[in-house]
Structure 1
Amino acid sequence: MSFIVYTRRRKKKHKSLEGLTKFKMSSGSVRFLILRSSRSLSYFPGAVTPGIAGSFRGYSSVCATEEKSTKDSAIDMALNSVVKVFCRSSKPSILQPWQKKFPQSSTGSGFVISGNKILTNAHVVADHTFVQVRKHGSPAKYTAKVQAVGHECDLAILEIDSKKFWEDMKPLDLGDVPALNETVFVVGYPRGGDNISITKGVVNRVEVTKYSHSKTKLMTTQIDAAINNGNSGGPVVMGNKVVGVAFQGLSNSESIGYIIPTPVVNHFITNVEENGQSFAFSSLGISFQNMENAEIHKRFKMSPQMTGILITKINRLSSAYGILKKDDVLLSIDDVSIDNDSTVSFRNKERINFSHLISMKKPSETTSLKVLREGKEHKFDINIKPVESLIPVYQYDKLPSYYIFAGFVFIPLTKPYFDLCNMSDSVLETMPKQSGEQIVVISQVLEDDINVGYTSFDDSQVKKVNGVQVENLKHLRQLIEECSTEDLRFELDTDKAIFLNKKSAKKVSSKILKRYAIPSAMSKDLRS
């Protein structure tokens, strides 16, 4: 708001007052100003006039009072809304998918939202076996049920079936994305103590960033308050509203934290309310390159006013497949122009990656795309939807798939496994050709006489079985078990091959499982 400050200038001898000067000032947070008497003001030669100096001191007092009031408000909200989450989890083993790792305990934060539910981070309760919640001021822990999880956006909703727990608990309201340089307070239970903690920070930037839990790129808000272990899932408040959920920090950097902004939070909550379960975020399913070079504009017959991105590949499972084409220039989404650096306008002189517009779409929601194709503009309406990834980037809350035959451990390729193996990076760029497709690899070879000479074939992709292209792990098992000949030939991506006698291999497989104390030759999902 704007306000007027009146001051009087002093003469050289400083004995009388004359001249009325008016100054107009602006502030987004000051609601009132208390001016001190001009007689009590100090004079700062060469800096500001006495009246202005006095007004700044008054302004500082007001700001300090308001900041204290905001912090007190955050504390009051925290006492009745913020909880500590205790999770016992057991993660599956990537290299030994038939067993889980030793159980571990961890803690996080959460807060009450409408409908007697608690919002927290997905990574706080990922692979959970037992979850409890404790409210402020109470020694009791209450058993919680994970109602919905959105691993992509790193959010989860908990339910507690106890009337006593909900006594005096108040839901928090969600606000807007805070402006740059706004002061916010992070509330939660970071490690280093057992009581609730409140830290202050300032908003530095709003942009699309990779979420460390899922590797998905979504909108984030960066603040200069550290987000430590245990803070995850706690609210970030400004005034009497939640403006985000604390979820990750920047490694090797101090006092840099990231929060999940309310547009992403609202999108998650709304979809859970409508669908009653977790969901995936929508995507165009395209690969593209920026068009900041002048020559590329000439090559694709763009006018001087046109901006956009060049489409280089389209996922076959995308709703845009068969509509968009390679070398199309994507100009706008729902009439929002895309710049040559793949950003769109966001608030006052801020910009954000265009993918944010797509990620906020509901599944099957109509999206209007304007493209330039061979010098002519075209407009297409498509029903946007989530796009399956050929190589899953994460795997939580479920047991991994595997199939063991003749000591060869076959698994579908995932990003967690890729990070541990020696496969080429080019495989990550591969797009699926059909729904349900998987890249099947040999994760290890359990040594036996029958597989002598093949033990170095781990990390190899199985392309074909007896000349038939492998579609996924379930298909590979089917090709082996329904094989009508005695000979099995596995063709690998390395141009090498494995040759087995089916009868001998089947006979020895049970002995290998017993030798290595493996309870089953396949995961539960393959038994049906």
Structure 2
Amino acid sequence: MAASSSSRHQELVSVRRSVVKVFVRSSQPNWTSPWQQRPQRSGTGSGFCINTSRRQVLTNAHVVGDAVMVRVRRYGHAARYPAKVLCISHQVDLALLEVPADAFWEAPPALSSIELSEEVPNLDSDVLTVGYPMGGENICVTRGVVSRIDLMDYTFSPAGGERQLVMQVDAAINPGNSGGPVLDATGKAVGVAFTKIQNSANIGYVIPGSVVRFFLRGVATCRSPRLCDLGVRLQNTRSVALRQHRGLEPGSETGALVSDVAPLSAAAAAGVKAGDILLAIDDVPLAEDGSIPFRDAERIGYDFLVSRRVVGDSFRVTLWRSDEEKEVELQLSASPVPRLVPRKAGVDAVPSYLVLGGLVFVPLSLPWLLARYSEVRKVPADLQAKLFDHKEHPEEEVVVLSKVLAAEVNYGYEDFPSCQLLTFNGMKVQSLRQLRQMAMAGSEERFLRFVMSFHLEIVLDAELCWETHANILDQYGIKEDSSPDLRDAEPPASRL
């Protein structure tokens, strides 16, 4: 018994050597002034050696997101070595680093890759979290058990997002632990620590090994892993009257109501319609609340069947429509399903802008809303409602006036509220790129007329606008009048 305990101790010591501390300097985009970056800040996290032959370290995406410099330090060593971010996915909150320095890998004792297990541990299984939480410089090990298996949106978007499998543990996961391995009794990594419930000392969340493998398979095929989405919203069918109205069999607890279908989604392409009852996915039955059997007596959300798939996968969907059962074949297209309002920086939201006569226009996005209003509940109702709308065509955007850079040409509009731009010179505005193209095309009109939501109107003198354009940019320290994404494929002539 003593020999066995000693051997296990040595194995865990070997595993700890492969857990590193990650040091990051980062600079985030400035969403309200997109031509600028926010001041640099420093942070730390954890990571572990996942492939020593390729010199790769695994950590969380949020640890190295927006990084301008990354360094790593080995357990028991003082030197910090440069690391490069090879691949990052905020949807699964994982990032792969490469550490080129020979000294990092060759300094004794030798490093070894931590083995990854795809098996989801049973409830009450013992686990160890290993990492470098704040409060000290040395490695920290905490012990706990797996307390729940569920689904979670790893981006924690207040507007919701694609959900993936998650493990809840009662081992302490604190700031700095993020990116460290969570080990089972054999020393295998069953997941990666990534967050905890706020104001709780011992309720943490772990990215399971199966999700890590999903990420690594994407990296191996040189593709940034992105979660797939069916493109439907479901409503529970607990109401007896609702089930009777839809012609569902009395006493049955199967089937959830499709309340909405994204026009550009795989579901829409397959012919799924609002009002259908979703009965099953690949013969796995959905309950009235949209849940499916997971294992033993556990249940989990139906999106577990979808988010672990990759683009191009197909599966069968069983529907109840007009009092009869119907099967459709569905092929997953590019993910995420195009939403009218992008939700996550680094996933679907890009800091983009256009300056016209000191008016700063941006595409409506959740990062911009949170930067402008701090909380979703403070966002004006008309903009808040658009968070849950879908695109009708791929280039569609909601263009909003973000701010007014005070100048003589826009006198009288300095305190104009943030609101949606509807038309420019009488033409409907469908995207920021289109607005720029219309402005660049020019016209003989004397005025530039912007019609906003709530029937608000901005009219600028066109000649004065073009004459003062460069001076306004120079006065406010703006190098370009538009973001790089809008300047791709420049037309031959430009008034801006």
Give the alignment's TM-score, normalised by structure 2.
Answer: 0.89
Q: What residue is the counterpart of 2:261 in the other structure?
A: 314
Aligned partner of 2:408: which letter?
Answer: D
328, 331, 339: which is aligned to 1:383? 331
One-letter code of the match for 1:520? Answer: E
Alignment match, 2:214: 267
Contact 2:339–2:389 at 8 Å: present in 1 too? no
Query: Retained in 2: the 8 A contact 1:97–1:399?
Result: no
Letter of the aligned partner of 1:394 in structure 2? K
Matched-pair identity in %: 37
Instruction: Report the Cα offset of residue 306 of structure 1.
Output: 5.3
**TM-score scaled by length of structure 1:** 0.84
Report how far residue 86 of structure 1 moved. Answer: 0.9
Specify whether residues 66 and 256 from structure 1 end up closer, same or farther in structure 2 by C-alpha distance, changes over 3 A only: farther
Cα deviations by residue, 1:324-347 (Å, 9 ceiling, x for unpaired):
011000111111111111111111
For the structure 1 residues 219 and 89, does the alpha-carbon distance in structure 2 shift closer, same or farther, using more than 3 Å as the test?
A: same
- Distance in 2, Cα, partners of 1:472 & 1:495: 19
Contact 1:151/1:213, CA 8 A, preserved across alignment: no
Aligned-residue offset at 1:427: 1.5
> Quick check: which has more Rg, 1 or 2?
1
Deviations 1:159-188 (A, max 9, x none): 122233223121112111111111100001
User: Match for residue 328 of structure 1?
Assistant: 276
Contact 1:412 1:473 in 2 (8 A): yes
Q: Report if the CA contact (8 A) 2:233-2:260 is conserved.
A: yes
State the match for 2:115 in structure 1: 173
Partner SS for 1:499: strand
> Which structure 2 residues correspond to residues 455-494 of structure 1 after superposition, within 5 A?
455-486=414-445, 487-494=447-454
- SS of the residue corresponding to residue 77 of structure 2 reads coil
Structure 1 residue 66 displacement after superposition: 8.2
Equivalent in 366, 380, 388 of residue 415 of structure 1: 366
Using the alignment, how far apart are the partners of 2:240 and 2:96 within structure 1?
48
- Given that residues 30 and 37 in structure 2 are in contact (C-alpha distance below 8 angstroms), is that contact kept between their aligned partners in structure 1? yes
- Aligned mates of 1:374, 1:306 — CA distance in 2: 18
* One-letter amino acid matched to 1:174: L
Is 1:155 equivalent to 2:105 in the alignment? no
Shift of 1:350: 0.6
2:57 is matched with which residue? 118
Match of 1:394 in 2: 344
* Structure 1 SS opposite 2:102: coil
Compare relative contact order (CA 8 Å, sep 6+) and give the higher one, 1 or 2.
2
Is 1:103 aligned with 2:9? no
How far apart are residue 76 of structure 1 and its match? 2.7
Distance 1:439 1:66, change over 3 A: farther
What CA deviation, in whole Å up to 9, does each residue of 1:128-154 have, x standing for no partner?
111111111222221111100111110
Q: Which residue is 2:171 aligned to? A: 225
Q: Give per-residue Cα distances to partners, 1:403-430, cap 9 Å, x unaligned.
A: 1111111111111211233332211121
After superposition, what is the alpha-carbon deviation per residue over 1:470-509, rounded to whole angstroms, capped at 9, x for unaligned?
A: 2211111111121323232212122222222222112122
CA deviation string 1:177-224 (max 9, x = no partner): 111111100001111111111101111101012324666422111111
Q: Does 1:432 align with 2:380?
A: no
Gaps of 5+ in 1: 1-61
Q: Which of 477, 480, 484 matches 1:520? A: 480
Gaps of 5+ in 2: 374-378, 489-496
Counterpart of 1:46 in structure 2 is: none
Tell me the distance in 1 between the aligned counterparts of 2:12 and 2:285. 39
> Contact 2:55–2:100 (CA<8 Å) still a contact in 1?
no
Output the amino acid matched with 2:30. S
**Which of the residues 279, 282, 293 maps onto 1:345?**
293
Question: Partners in 2 of 1:190 and 1:321 — Cα distance?
Answer: 46
Correspondence 1:77 to 2:36: no
Q: Which amino acid counterpart does residue 113 of structure 2 have in structure 1?
A: P
CA contact (8 A) 1:88 1:131 kept: yes
For 1:206, the aligned partner's letter is I
SS at match of 1:460: coil
Picking from 218, 225, 237, the partner of 1:291 is 237
In structure 2, distance between residues paired with 1:65 and 1:476: 73
Distance in 2 (alpha carbons) for counterparts of 1:451 and 1:468? 21
